[in-house]
Amino acid sequence: MAGLKEDPILGIDGITIKEELEIGKPEIDRSREDHPVLETGGAVIKGESLINNRSVIDKVREEGSCGQGERDMVPPISNSIHRSGSRPQLDLSKAAIEGTFEERDPTILLPNQSDDISHLALDIGGSLIKLVYFSRHQDRPTNDKRKKTGKERFGIANGYRRSYPILGGRLHFVKFETSKINECLDFISSKQLHCGGMDSHSWHSETSPNGNAVIKATGGGAYKFADLFKERLGVSLDKEDEMDCLVAGANFLLKAIRHEAFTHMEGQKEFVQIDQNDLFPYLLVNIGSGVSMIKVDGDGKFERVSGTNVGGGTYWGLGRLLTKCKSFDELLELSQRGDNRTIDMLVGDIYGGMDYNKIGLSASTIASSFGKTISEKKELADYRPEDISLSLLRMISYNIGQISYLNALRFGLKRIFFGGFFIRGHAYTMDTISFAVHFWSKGEAQAMFLRHEGFLGALGAFMSYEKHGLDDLMVHQLVERFPMGAPYTGGKIHGPPLGDLNEKISWMEKFVQKGTEITAPVPMDPPGTTGLGGFEVPSSKGGTLRSDASALNVGVLHLVPTLEVFSQLADPKMYEPNTIDLSDHNELEYWFTVLSEHLSDLVDKAVASEGGTDDAKRRGDAFARAFSAHLARLMEEPAAYGKLGLANLLELREECLREFQFVDVYRSIKQRENEASLAVLPDLLAELDSMTEETRLLTLIEGVLAANIFDWGSRACVELYHKGTIIEIYRMSRNKMQRPWRVDDFDVFKERMLGSGDKKPRPHKRALLFVDNSGADVVLGMLPLARELLQRGTEVVLVANSLPALNDVTAMELPDIVAEAAKHCDILRRAAEAGGLLVDAMINTSDGSKENSSSVPLMVVENGCGSPCIDLRQVSSELAAAAKDADLIILEGMGRALHTNFNARFKCEALKLAMVKNQRLAEKLIKGNIYDCVCRYEPAS
């Protein structure tokens, strides 16, 4: 970076630390603008006593420790002061200036400084070791000239964003069998998790941790294996109470993860959104080697009220003796092919095939688990291991379900949450427990399960690091991703971190192969075969089930403290972004087919965007394999990754592209379309200015609808691109605009904008325009509409994607597009200057003037996502701030106005504009046809 010295030395409180130290080069982060703070783990010290003069700004390099120029997300730091002498040397890796060069004393953060090694926590049980570890985000934009003016305009003061010393990052979940603890230790060592976590500079580090290094652990193994961890890794285990951790982990998940809890009956998984204000009390049943039943009354308020020694250890132990299985998962797989009628004594076996109606027992009810073996002259070898495994699983699951309900009954609890690695995401186990609870409670109590079921203790131990502040995170600040390319799956495939893309591609191929190997059929029992206490056998429907579902069903939790809930939602609790219901299998199959058919064209675009090199082709093939594997997984079990909507599928596709380093597939296409559209914009604006007010408003809405045809996510529209130029297609689309449209509220919107008779309506104060595609869509459609609103005295905020998705315009690209458009329009120029968009731009205006008039501002904010759709429960903090004073929202495009948010209601006025480019969507949503138009106006709710 220009103006920065090449040999920086930081002098802090008399300590001089040179850049040449192995702990890494400091890094500048221009995106933050809070007051000077020095963070040293839990230590937070404000003021000029540490940063004494302006010259320190010039003494820190822009380049980060891994030499990639990427930045960590750095939130404001709290004002508490805490010093610790546990680490004698400051850790400058990833050091960053927080703020701008205009500030006299910018913040310097040391994000990796820590009082103890707090990137990892373990739950070491008798059967399994569970790990939760943290890695930092390194994918933030490097330079965004919108930020400062936007923060000032929207009143985002220093400290507006909530303070989390953990910063933004990712929480990873891994498991190992306790008997293979050395593999676990190898995993920790290979990732250097005991040396400060997953930051790239430490991946291949040979340095050993500080002798005083401590990591949090819970479970009996924290005592049993403490010496081994000290010997192998040189770290001490700080032992946390097991029950404390279980409850803390469960409370966090239930309050912070949107689709964490679910019911499971007859093979059907349904997610339950828990109101955190109505969470307590509940019964937590943790099924590990044994079973603990805990009544939870609040954060840190709980009591172990019961338990049983018949649990997961019992199932595995007896199963190993009786079937010779070598692993828990193998035993579960075996049960899926079993028939327990050969082993269990049923009521019908006692009563000659008859029911015992007097007391409500059907012939299929289990009278005695394993009871049939008493009267048969058979040896163990004469019974099928599959039948033994299933009978054993039923016996233990029914028993746990019944005891759990009886304890819930004691305390009047209606909700019971089951967790622990006995469940393992196994459909038959969950069905059995659910039926037991449902039967004995006569439907009054509900068995619910947790997707992170086995990680409650490990997550609670991780949260016990006080400086993390995780307990204050909210549901909208965590996003779950399901990448392919992680260096492990359930602890079975692991090794050094995959810094090399070739390694990632090779590993991904192993993952696909492994995923095929572990697919096993789910038994489809006829009704009335077995049961307990009169209810029928649980039947796990769905065709196939992966036995290690718990490993595949848990993704990486991305912690993004800067995400907020969109403040203009009329009812955030009832808001559901997805319009298409993918719980309908036919609907699911249709959209999976659409995505699969579009895949080859997308791969071609991705490879072309990287110059068509051999490396790009290999990455393109890897992306196609990975995304196809995701689709296959979701076809197999739609709820595997949580509640599934079309928006989730589209976002998953973009995540897969980014994972294989395709950052912006349509970059060159967007540039060409922008240039072509900007070339004809002056003529369009002149034409609009010659119209009457009423004609102009209709033409503007027609223009938005016509320009929205340019969508590379639609196969029908892709075909149009081969039939003419962008301008020819736009004119053709405009010429076909005939009212009434399929959804046509234009006249109502016109009356709101223009009034009727002599009555002139008040102009809107601030309009949020959610823009869609690059090229004609934004340049010839949305910018002229924004210009009209500006002329009427309305502040305009253009809301665009934070990250690329298809040919959607991004917030980083919009200022340059606006700057080019402003060269030909004084209205746009003055508004852009007022909104801070032209600070660095050289604008050639028609009159040569540069004065900043009293024009209302035109601003740009990012929406916080990188998908064609948008979930308004998770938007950027700057969009959330901009929305507070908005009284008009315009959602444009299929992704934002139809696929999502078509049914959303807002506190302020809303206009939803889109051209439908999918026949199925047209039929389902508006009972229309492809290329029908939607102009839906909704008054404030």
Of 256, 161, 76, nearest in space to 878 by CA: 161
Question: What is the reported pLDDT for 907?
Answer: 98
- Provide the angle, in degrees to the nearest 10, between the axes of the packed helices 726-735 and 667-689: 50
Q: How many CA atoms lie within 13 A of 265 on its CB side?
A: 15
Q: Does residue 345 have a pLDDT over 60?
A: yes
Q: If you average pLDDT over residues 378-406, what whole number do you get?
A: 95
Q: How far apart are the first and last CA of the chain?
A: 50
Does the fold of domain 666-839+855-938 match that of domain 588-660?
A: no
- The overall average pLDDT reported for the chain is 76
Give dist(CA 348, CA 351) in Å, integer: 5
173: helix, strand or coil: strand
Q: CA 894, CA 32: separation in Å to the nearest integer? A: 34
SS3 content of the chain, % helix, strand, coil (to 5): 40, 20, 45
- What pLDDT is stored for residue 193 in this prediction? 84
Average pLDDT over residues 364-378: 90
Mean pLDDT of 659-667: 90
**So what's the pLDDT on residue 238?**
94
**CB of 549 within 8 A of CB of 637?**
yes
Helices within 108-241 (DSSP H only): 147-153, 181-191, 221-224, 226-233
Tokens read off for 749:
């919107």
**Topology of the domain covering 261-343+383-450:** Nucleotidyltransferase; domain 5 (3.30.420)
pLDDT at position 422 is: 87
Strands (E), 451-606: 478-481, 519-521, 544-546, 556-559, 563-564
**What mean pLDDT comes out for the span 594-598?**
91
pLDDT band at residue 552 under the 50/70/90 scheme: very low
Q: Are 239 and 223 in contact (CB under 8 A)?
A: yes
Residue among 5, 105, 9 nearest 51 (CA): 105
CB atoms within 10 A of CB 138: 18
CA distance 492 to 176: 8
Give the pairing of strands 909-915 and 933-938: antiparallel
pLDDT at 313 (0 to 100): 92
pLDDT recorded at residue 114: 40
Whether 482 has a pLDDT exceeding 50, the answer reads: yes
Strand extents, DSSP E, 424-582? 446-450, 478-481, 519-521, 544-546, 556-559, 563-564
Predicted confidence (pLDDT) per residue in 614-635, tens digit: 888 888 888 888 888 788 878 8
Residue ranges per structural domain of the chain: 88-138+164-195+212-254+457-480, 261-343+383-450, 588-660, 666-839+855-938
Identify the CATH number of the domain defined by range 88-138+164-195+212-254+457-480: 3.30.420.40
Fold of 666-839+855-938: Rossmann fold (3.40.50)
**Element containing residue 776 per DSSP (H, E):** helix 776-776
Q: How far is CA 435 from the centre of its chain?
A: 32
Highest mean pLDDT out of 195-209, 336-350, 811-825: 811-825
- Look at the block and give the residue holding tokens 């131990």: 461
pLDDT score of 391 more than 70:
yes
Angular region, 197: left φ>0, alpha ψ -120 to 50, beta rest: left
- d(CA 67, CA 65) in angstroms, rounded, equals 5
324: left (phi over 0), alpha (psi -120 to 50) or beta: left
- Pairing between β-strand 875-876 and β-strand 563-564 as defined by DSSP bridges: antiparallel
Q: How confident is the model at residue 880 (pLDDT cuts 50, 70, 90)?
A: very high
pLDDT of 64 higher than 50: no
Q: DSSP assignment of 304-347, as one string?
A: EEEEES-SHHHHHHHHHHHH--SSHHHHHHHHTT--GGGTSEEH
Structure tokens at 535: 């209810």
Higher pLDDT, 135 or 565: 565
pLDDT for res 207: 41
pLDDT score of 589 more than 50: yes
- Whether the per-residue pLDDT at 43 is higher than 70: the answer is no
Number of other CB atoms surrounding residue 414 within 10 Å? 12
3-state secondary structure of 768: strand
Name the more confident of 603 and 504. 603
Cα–Cα dist 539/533, whole Å:
17
Whole-number Å distance between alpha carbons of 601 and 806: 12
Q: How far apart are CA 851 and CA 892, in angstroms?
A: 33
Supply the pTM of this predicted model: 0.77
- CATH class, range 588-660: mainly alpha
pLDDT in tens, 293-309: 999 999 999 999 999 99
Q: For residue 558, what are the β-bridge partners?
A: 170, 479
Residue-wise pLDDT tens digits, 433-459:
998 999 889 888 989 999 888 889 999
Who has greater pLDDT, 386 or 84? 386
123 confidence band (pLDDT: 50, 70, 90):
very high
Least confident of 113-122, 345-354, 544-553, 880-889: 544-553
pLDDT tens per residue, range 74-111: 333 332 222 233 322 334 444 444 444 333 333 334 34
Q: Quick check: 848 pLDDT over 60?
A: no
Cβ burial, residue 121 (10 Å; 0-12/13-18/19+): buried
Neighbours of 532 (CB within 10 A): 26
Q: What is the pLDDT of residues 720-750, one digit of tens each?
A: 555 556 667 677 777 778 899 999 999 999 9
> What is the widest separation between alpha-carbon atoms in the chain?
104
Nearest Cα residue to 647 out of 861, 805, 782: 805
